[in-house]
């Protein structure tokens, strides 16, 4: 997020052409990064609880709005209204109350012709939510203007928003948010293409929030310099398919009605062509409605009756819309501490982005790959990379030394950060458990500490370095696990079998919570394949470690290569076994059939996995691997790709052969038979894929993150 002071100073002092040029460059740099969430965020289509559809059985709702940013734009309002009238549409015009005079004749002309007017803030050159006191003062004048104009709707300048402060306004609806737009100064989207109710503290009053769901014209045509309306069409078609609300913002000031488009203008014909597209393709299928009528529909005919149960119903609606109520919660200052690469650790990213999205300030202290920036802000999360790491450690001493080095580096860095701005919560991710002691100074100052055990350390260490559970080192690690767990205020463990182990030796039940590694639904979703060849591709994406059993999978593939000449095995990842696996491939003569490829970002690996015919999870059934849950199984299920999985203790705990194909652990011959079986039986592959896709719906971060928020807020005393 761009700090609002920086944003407005930038706008005031920099020439307009230079502003636009710099923003174009910035967007070009970021566009590829956000292509998985913009212009379409796949999981934004979930309807609110109890949803029964639009009036008269219409397929989707259509809401047109316009923001008039300055006095010069007023003269274009009539031209824009005439265009819409000619095509049979009506819209809302939002005027800035304190920056210019809006002629009564214009307001009267618009309302008499069936258009609506609303308030677009008091001043367009500032963020009204920069403090509670500032907004309270502005609210007095805004409410006076609302009453004078007979308006019931509000939209904030530059789409800044604070859903709690907006309760100071006498409004029926607000339209200052969006489903997804990572290019906004405040980019936290609501992740829904439906309206939703925002209750006040007493549950009796509130307003309807109307997020815009089609990209703004300024972004598309001025900053991205699009020369067609294809993106609008693509997003609209998706909204229609999902039965949502198509609400978009067009600025008359950026439109050229005379055929001559300046630096910050685009042809008005783009908008006219889009209205014609809607009318020709979807005539009779849309409910075209003014924002105020949408809000009244949501209140009077919607799912939130104004009764004693309204508060709980509202909460349900907010959860469905992925807007987490903050009415009595203060934003917290949190830190994620992790000995891994943040951008490759989906578990840590999920926690951090969820907190940042609801308004908390989140730092991450992590490792850095060669060439990575020491500081970077990623989707609202501040990432500090304080130490480099190679992930091919083979010696116990070298591995331990790097862990200890990170402990002291992070202790010093975390203490300095805490002295500048104290943390409320520090979420420490293990391996190693003892990293929790880096938080000693903030803990003494009152910060709450979560220890999140991704991999249970004594068993992990034994697997990595071939120790037994009788060794002195194993027992020492169990003791360290106990001390670390006692030091933390709460312990999170990543699966239910490890929970039993942890409860039996280190943690009390009331201090332990299971949070599994759930797939990111905005990344792992079913999609059409873009691979169109005759190959049969099997894939493994992940760490190249010994307990992953990739040597077993390569041996199994060698056994079937002559039976399935079109088959290939693609391995994506890095790790200590890479050289051994490459040598095995050469020894077996599989250089043209088995390929080890570099890791790719998580949003790209999903597409790679989706184009595979079969997922392979061949891990060993040792004390660690046999109880380590592989998130890749759920990710394959979410993508609709059938998988073969080692029949380990953990996988039999969660799955059965109705949703995947098991093979006997450490048995290359049995794995080879399973590969052949699924290669030769497309009906079985389709059946497993379909059943797994239904099964995985219950393993959703969307359903579980509220529990994490409750845990965090309970620890820091942030209760409603």
Are 355 and 712 spatial neighbours (Cβ–Cβ below 8 Å)?
yes
pLDDT category, 309, cuts 50, 70, 90? very low
CA gap 420, 418 in Å, rounded: 5
* pLDDT attached to residue 140: 94
Average pLDDT of the residues in 324-343:
77
pLDDT of 427 strictly over 50:
yes
Residue 530 burial (CB count, 10 A): 8
Average pLDDT of the residues in 332-359:
90
Average pLDDT of the residues in 270-294:
96
Nearest to 481 by CA among 451, 448, 447: 451
pLDDT category, 417, cuts 50, 70, 90? very high
Average pLDDT of the residues in 445-474:
82
Nearest to 62 by CA among 300, 255, 291, 265: 291
Nearest to 431 by CA among 405, 460, 408: 460
* pLDDT attached to residue 302: 56
Tokens matching residue 366: 């992590």
pLDDT category, 321, cuts 50, 70, 90? very low
CA gap 629, 653 in Å, rounded: 10
* pLDDT attached to residue 14: 60
pLDDT of 308 strictly over 50:
no
pLDDT of 6 strictly over 80:
no
CA gap 276, 84 in Å, rounded: 10
* pLDDT attached to residue 204: 59
* pLDDT attached to residue 329: 59
* pLDDT attached to residue 395: 63
Nearest to 324 by CA among 454, 514, 189, 430: 189
Which of the pair, 331 or 140, is modelled with greater confidence?
140
Give pLDDT tens digits for 484-526: 999 999 999 988 888 888 898 888 888 898 888 888 777 888 8
Point out the least confidently predicted range of 129-133, 172-176, 196-200, 482-486. 129-133
pLDDT of 60 strictly over 50:
yes
Q: Which domains does the chain have, with CATH numbers?
A: 59-320 (3.20.20.370), 333-518 (3.40.50.2000), 536-698 (3.40.50.2000)
Share of the chain above pLDDT 70, in %: 91
Which of the pair, 236 or 431, is modelled with greater confidence?
236
Q: Which residue has the tokens 């979420």?
A: 427
Average pLDDT of the residues in 624-628:
76
Long-range contacts of 390-395 (CB under 8 A, 24+ apart): 391/543, 391/574, 391/575, 391/576, 392/574, 392/575, 392/576, 392/578, 393/576, 394/576
Give pLDDT tens digits for 672-718: 999 999 999 999 999 999 999 988 887 878 777 888 898 898 888 76
CA gap 172, 207 in Å, rounded: 5
pLDDT category, 154, cuts 50, 70, 90? very high
* pLDDT attached to residue 2: 46
Give pLDDT tens digits for 599-612: 887 778 889 999 99
pLDDT of 104 strictly over 70:
yes
* pLDDT attached to residue 471: 82
CA gap 578, 582 in Å, rounded: 6
* pLDDT attached to residue 431: 83
pLDDT of 280 strictly over 60:
yes
Instruction: Name residues whose C-beta falls within 8 Å of residue 656's C-beta, 6 or more positions apart in sequence.
Output: none
Residues in the chain: 720
Mean pLDDT of the chain: 87
**Torsion sign, CA atoms 121, 125, 129, 133:** negative
pLDDT category, 568, cuts 50, 70, 90? very high
The DSSP bridge pattern shows strands 375-378 and 361-368 to be unpaired
* pLDDT attached to residue 326: 41
Nearest to 247 by CA among 283, 292, 206, 284: 292
pTM: 0.52
Tokens matching residue 565: 């000449």
* pLDDT attached to residue 379: 87
CA count, 13 A, side-chain hemisphere, 347: 23
pLDDT category, 470, cuts 50, 70, 90? confident
Which of the pair, 362 or 627, is modelled with greater confidence?
362
Whole-angstrom CA distances from 167 to 136, 189, 327 are 10, 19, 10
CA gap 271, 149 in Å, rounded: 27
* pLDDT attached to residue 458: 84
* pLDDT attached to residue 466: 72
Point out the least confidently predicted range of 52-61, 243-252, 254-263, 631-640. 254-263
Q: Which residue has the tokens 């304190």?
A: 98
pLDDT category, 318, cuts 50, 70, 90? very low
Give pLDDT tens digits for 253-274: 999 998 777 788 999 999 999 9
């Amino acid at each position: 997020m761009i700090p609002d002071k920086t944003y407005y100073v930038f706008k005031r002092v920099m020439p307009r052409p230079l502003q636009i040029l710099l923003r174009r460059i910035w967007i070009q740099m970021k566009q590829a990064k956000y292509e998985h969430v913009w212009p379409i965020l796949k999981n934004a289509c979930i309807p609110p609880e109890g949803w029964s559809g639009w009036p008269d059985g219409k397929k989707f709702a259509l809401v047109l709005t316009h923001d008039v940013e300055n006095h010069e734009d007023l003269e274009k309002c009539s031209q824009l209204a005439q265009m819409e009238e000619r095509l049979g549409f009506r819209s809302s015009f939002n005027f800035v109350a304190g920056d210019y005079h809006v002629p009564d004749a214009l307001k009267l002309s618009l309302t008499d012709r069936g258009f609506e007017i609303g308030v677009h803030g008091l001043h367009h050159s500032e963020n009204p939510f920069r403090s509670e006191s500032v907004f309270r003062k502005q609210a007095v004048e805004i409410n006076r203007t609302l009453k004078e104009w007979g308006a019931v709707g509000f939209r904030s300048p530059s789409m800044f928003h604070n859903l709690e402060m907006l309760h100071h306004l006498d409004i029926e609806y607000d339209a200052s948010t969006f489903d997804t737009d990572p290019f906004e100064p405040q980019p936290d989207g609501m992740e829904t293409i439906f309206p939703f109710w925002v209750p006040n503290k007493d549950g009796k009053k509130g307003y309807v929030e109307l997020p815009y769901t089609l990209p703004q014209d300024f972004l598309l045509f001025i900053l991205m310099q699009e020369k067609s309306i294809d993106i609008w069409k693509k997003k609209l078609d998706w909204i229609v398919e999902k039965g949502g609300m198509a609400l978009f913002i067009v600025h008359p000031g950026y439109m050229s009605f005379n055929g001559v488009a300046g630096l910050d203008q685009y042809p008005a014909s783009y908008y006219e062509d889009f209205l014609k597209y809607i009318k020709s393709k979807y005539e009779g299928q849309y409910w075209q409605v003014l924002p105020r009528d949408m809000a009244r529909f949501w209140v009077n005919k919607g799912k939130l009756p104004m009764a004693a149960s309204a508060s709980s119903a509202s909460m349900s609606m907010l959860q469905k819309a992925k807007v987490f109520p903050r009415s009595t919660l203060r934003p917290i200052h949190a830190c994620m501490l992790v000995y891994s690469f943040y951008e490759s650790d989906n578990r840590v990213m999920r926690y951090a982005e969820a907190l940042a999205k609801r308004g908390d300030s989140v730092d991450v202290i992590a490792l850095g790959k060669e060439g990575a920036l020491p500081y970077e802000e990623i989707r609202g999360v501040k990432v500090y990379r304080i130490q480099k790491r190679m992930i091919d450690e083979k010696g116990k001493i070298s591995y331990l030394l790097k862990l200890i080095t990170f402990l002291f580096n992070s202790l010093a860095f975390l203490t300095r950060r805490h002295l500048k701005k104290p943390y409320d919560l520090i979420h420490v991710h293990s391996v190693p458990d003892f990293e929790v002691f880096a938080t000693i100074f903030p803990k003494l100052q009152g910060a709450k500490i979560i220890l999140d055990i991704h991999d249970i350390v004594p068993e992990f260490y034994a697997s990595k370095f071939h120790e037994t559970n009788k060794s002195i080192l194993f027992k020492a690690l169990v003791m360290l696990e106990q001390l670390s767990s006692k030091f933390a205020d709460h312990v999170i463990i990543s699966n239910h079998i490890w929970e039993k182990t942890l409860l039996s030796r280190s943690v009390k039940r009331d201090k332990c919570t299971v949070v599994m590694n759930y797939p990111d639904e905005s990344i792992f979703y079913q999609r059409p394949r873009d691979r169109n060849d005759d190959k049969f591709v099997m894939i493994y994406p992940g760490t190249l470690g010994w307990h992953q059993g990739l040597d077993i999978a390569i041996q199994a593939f060698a056994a079937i290569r002559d039976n399935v000449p079109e088959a290939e095995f693609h391995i994506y990842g890095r790790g200590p076994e890479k050289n051994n696996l490459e040598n095995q491939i050469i020894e077996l003569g599989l250089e043209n059939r088995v390929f080890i490829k570099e890791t790719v970002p998580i949003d790209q690996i999903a597409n790679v996995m989706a184009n595979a015919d079969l997922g392979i999870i061949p891990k060993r059934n040792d004390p660690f691997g046999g109880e380590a849950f592989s998130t890749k199984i759920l990710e394959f299920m979410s993508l609709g790709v059938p998988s073969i999985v080692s029949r380990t203790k953990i996988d039999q705990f969660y799955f059965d052969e109705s949703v995947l194909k098991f093979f006997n652990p450490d048995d290359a011959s049995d794995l080879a038979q399973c590969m052949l079986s699924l290669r030769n039986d497309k009906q079985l592959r389709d059946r497993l894929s379909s059943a797994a896709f239904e099964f995985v719906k219950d393993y959703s971060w969307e359903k579980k993150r509220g529990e994490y928020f409750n845990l965090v807020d309970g620890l820091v005393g942030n209760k409603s």
